[in-house]
Amino acid sequence: MRRLGAVVAAASLLLVCCASPRNSLGAGSTACFKAIPAAVSEVGRKGSLVGVRQVNAARLAQRRPEFRRFGNENLCLVAFRGNFQPGDLPGAGSAQAGRYAVVAVDSRRATVVATYVMDHLPLRFRHPV
């Protein structure tokens, strides 16, 4: 009888824990959803939204040197998939074509600080929107 009571209590606890509402994704990306409108405006509605992610620029610069100029600042990266040609994105520094556009947005002010066109995303965007 005790064993049955313990199983019922554990199942009840598991059900309550899994059914409770969540107010975030459990990741730093949640704070960056306010960056989406600025990024969409920068891309001009070209391409489809892949995802949003908050990253430390210094850590990202280890893989992508172009992010060194942001120092230790936290950035919100918004990624888009599409066929981006040179000149499609006025804020993109290089005149290269690519399958992805990544818009870097200042996480505190929600303003676009850089736009990059590339063939491969610099990191995984785990929380698609």
Is 112 within a domain? yes
- Residue 101 backbone phi and psi in degrees, to 5: -120, 130
Reading across the β-sheet that carries 112-118, which strands appear in turn? 48-56, 74-84, 98-106, 112-118
pTM of the model: 0.71
Is 74 within a domain? yes
Instruction: Indicate the DSSP class of residue 85.
Output: P
pLDDT greater than 60 at residue 9:
no
Is 5 within a domain? no
Is 56 within a domain? yes
DSSP letters, 25-41, are -SSGGGGGGGGHHHHHH
Is 68 within a domain? yes
Range of the domain at 93: 25-118
Is 111 within a domain? yes
Count of structural domains, the chain: 1
Is 6 within a domain? no
Average pLDDT, the chain: 78
* Model pLDDT, residue 110: 84
Is 16 within a domain? no
pLDDT greater than 50 at residue 22:
no
Interval 57-65 mean pLDDT: 87
